[in-house]
Amino acid sequence: MNLTGLSSAQVAAKIEQGRVNKVSRKKTNSVSKIIIRNTLTIFNIVNLILALMIISVGSYKNLLFIFIAIANTLISIINEIRAKRTIDKMRLIAEQKPTVIRDGKTIQIPPTEIVDGDLLILSLGDQVIVDAKVEEGQVEVNESFITGESDNILKHPGDKLISGSFIVSGTCKASVVAVGSENFISKLESSAHTIKTADSKLFTIMNNIVKYISFALIPIGALLLWARFRVPDSTPEVAITSTVAALINMIPEGLILLTSSVLALATIRLSRQKVLVQDLYSIETLARVDCICLDKTGTLTTGKMTVKDLIPAKGQSKNALEAAFTAILSHSTADNATSAALKQKLLKTAKNREINDNVEIIPFSSDRKYSGIKTPKSELLMGALEFMTKNPEYLKQEKSLEGDYRIISVIKKTPEKETLLGFALLEDELRKDASDIIKFFIDNNVDIKVISGDNLSTVQSIATKVGIPNPTPVDLSTLDTPINYEKLVETYNIFTRVKPAQKKSLVLALKKQGKTVAMTGDGVNDILAMKEADCSIAIGEGSDAARRSAKLVLLNSDFAAVPSVIAEGRQSINNLERSTTLFLSKTVYASILAVFFVILPLEYPFSPIEMSLLNFACIGFPGLVLALEKNTERIKNNFTKNILQYSVPIGLTVSIVMLVLATVAELKGFSRPELTTISVFVTFSIDLVLIYWISRPLNPLRTTLLASIIGIIAIAFSVPTLRRLLDFTFLSLDGIIVTIAAISAGLIIFNFLRLIARRISGKIFS
């Protein structure tokens, strides 16, 4: 194999032959699909049919709802397109550009420009994008996404690298043997970087609402229209407009719009902080996070290290220690903070006394926790001492070292004996804002678990400095198997010498305890745990493998953005919870009234135009204001419980009062305008009580909102043109008495039903 790579002419020829990596990667929906999906909805189709019914009887003033539906659709399309463009742009930034050699030069190209026969350079953290064969060097790969096994596999020249696997250690040059659909991962029709679908309670609720309402609309509409024509003295206009009003009320179209808009806007806001959201509904998961697992590197520390001192072991010289480090580092291809710090310190000052041509490299592995070189006569190993030797004297020497440092030890092994040569003391650079980040988590009731592969004293020192509660650590390498992970996570917040599979076990143990777990990571060794976490957050400067496994990516590698991410999630879901309560209350009473007015030969109290007013004043407007309000409180209780314990009582209350009111109006002989006016005022008053309850505690914004809602109804009634348009009229004395009585009864019924709903929901969702 020519290790200078393909020439430009060869690349052009292969592209001409179609031997290029044109693969269909997971993308967001196209603009046309977004437009079609948001336009051709069951709700829009129903709205169109209802509009045609209104047009057929010439009641054009009752067509306001169709313009609201059009506005909802346009806003939804615009928001989703904005979010799509933001995500596409940021995915492009986050996408790995593989390194290839062409014309003897090293360049980076997009994955879709790789051609058959290209020479790739692969190193620690890279994902193998296409099937390839190792030509030079050796690497360890993780094929867990393909085989299900977490063990690392050493690949030598001539061995095949399977697309979808990840480089765990080492560096190699590999020739591409398959592109596009010929790749193993393409044939398997899965990908190592597939993102697990978010377990979204919100999405489930919305889907169920749409499903059940869709099934109910057609039969209820047909029966209601038939029943309206049976009412004495009913006209086609009254029958059709009242039927349309009932069906419009059942459609929570604004809720679907509001949900997609809030999540899309949250995605856009997060993008301004260089946070890539891979799944809109992962924002909901963020809102529920009450435990965050993090490594110290890249989160509490900057990831940079400095060598503070080199200390020879007893009976050894500093020159021998420097020479051993230099020998290992001269052959090492590792590109990490530890190697960088040691190379900066040693390769300019020490002479290599160990190098020869007959050297086998032992690459670093997160399982082994050491690297080194091997010659026919000896081995030089560099890493965590307890993983390289069990000699109690050597371990005692390490423990005697003062200071809170990361300790890298060097051991020389021959067939006859092993010799400890000494230690390098390294110090992590602490993030300036680490303490503030930890304080945010503590103040917001988020448990913090530090899961690190480093030694106990180093991690404990950093945890103490940044203010993590209960910083007493546990060293997992010292525990007997099987380990009781559930007891560990109850007792400790700091875990050291943790292997990749153990990180996964710790996350699973936290989830068993009912925690909603976020896991941050930057390397291949974090992936197993990230996939099991409810929400995974990757550091942008980390490995491509970690980025592709995460639901969110911090493109600037700025962990200070995580508090903002959690706050954004809480704001979105807390506010949507209140808005959903408003929309569902309307759906509940509209559905109940529709069924009862099919049975009872009474006049339906609303027309479409009055429902449009109520929907705007009591549902859409307050729902939008509350949905965009700043709110970072921790989510309490169950989402379904929270919305049902208010929406169902209000829905039942309005239904009961409206049925009684329609009966009284029939007995009293109220005119249609008087019945409409009383019904709107009563419904408005009961809805206003609901808005007050879900807005507590009141603040200037919420108080202004309540005043504005009252103002909207007051204007609608006091302006003559609007009053005539809405069929409002001044009430007689009997009408005023009935209105006051209905509102009073409604408040009593609501409070009674609210207490019952709280008890029932407490038992169901306990």
Domain boundary among 522, 548, 565: 565
Between strands 535-539 and 418-430, the pairing is unpaired
User: For position 421, which CATH number holds?
Assistant: 3.40.1110.10
Q: Of 11-20, 241-250, 474-483, 669-678, which gets the smallest average pLDDT?
A: 241-250
Question: Which pLDDT belongs to residue 335?
Answer: 61
Percentages helix, strand, coil for the chain, rounded to the nearest 5? 55, 15, 30
Domain boundary among 408, 429, 450: 429
Clarify whether residues 538 and 605 are in a common domain.
no
User: pLDDT tens-digit profile of 683-723?
Assistant: 999 999 999 988 888 889 999 999 999 999 999 999 999 99
Name 377's Cβ contacts closer than 8 Å, sequence gap at least 6.
Answer: 414
Structural domain contains residue 21 = no
Structural domain contains residue 632 = yes
- Between residues 757 and 601, the one the model is more confident about: 757
Structural domain contains residue 543 = yes
What is the mean pLDDT of the segment spanning 176-181? 88
Contact assessment for residue 653 and residue 750, using Cβ atoms and an 8 Å cutoff: yes
Question: Which pLDDT belongs to residue 511?
Answer: 94
Structural domain contains residue 258 = yes
Clarify whether residues 250 and 365 are in a common domain.
no
Clarify whether residues 435 and 521 are in a common domain.
yes
- Nearest residue to 136 via CA among 155, 153, 163: 155
pLDDT surpasses 90 at 160: yes
Contact assessment for residue 630 and residue 573, using Cβ atoms and an 8 Å cutoff: no
Clarify whether residues 255 and 343 are in a common domain.
no
Structural domain contains residue 357 = yes
Q: Of 53-62, 190-199, 215-224, 411-420, which gets the smallest average pLDDT?
A: 190-199
Clarify whether residues 265 and 278 are in a common domain.
no
Clarify whether residues 518 and 393 are in a common domain.
no
pLDDT surpasses 50 at 765: yes
Structural domain contains residue 54 = no
Clarify whether residues 292 and 280 are in a common domain.
yes
- Global pTM value: 0.66
User: For position 570, which CATH number holds?
Assistant: 1.20.1110.10
Name 215's Cβ contacts closer than 8 Å, sequence gap at least 6.
Answer: none
Q: What is the DSSP string of 615-651?
A: IIIIIIHHHHHHHTS---PPP-S-HHHHHHHHHHHHH
- Between residues 404 and 438, the one the model is more confident about: 438
Clarify whether residues 354 and 486 are in a common domain.
no
Clarify whether residues 573 and 560 are in a common domain.
no
Between strands 406-413 and 447-451, the pairing is unpaired
Clarify whether residues 720 and 617 are in a common domain.
yes
Clarify whether residues 629 and 760 are in a common domain.
yes
Domain boundary among 395, 429, 463: 429
Structural domain contains residue 128 = no
Clarify whether residues 673 and 573 are in a common domain.
yes
User: pLDDT tens-digit profile of 543-580?
Assistant: 666 777 788 888 887 888 888 888 888 888 888 888 88
User: pLDDT tens-digit profile of 319-332?
Assistant: 999 999 998 888 87
Average pLDDT across the chain, whole number: 82
User: pLDDT tens-digit profile of 252-305?
Assistant: 766 766 777 777 778 788 888 888 887 667 777 877 888 999 887 767 887 788
DSSP 3-state assignment of 703? Answer: helix
Radius of gyration of the chain (CA): 33
Structural domain contains residue 146 = no
- Between residues 155 and 528, the one the model is more confident about: 155
What domain range includes position 341? 305-429
Instruction: Please count the structural domains in the chain.
Output: 3
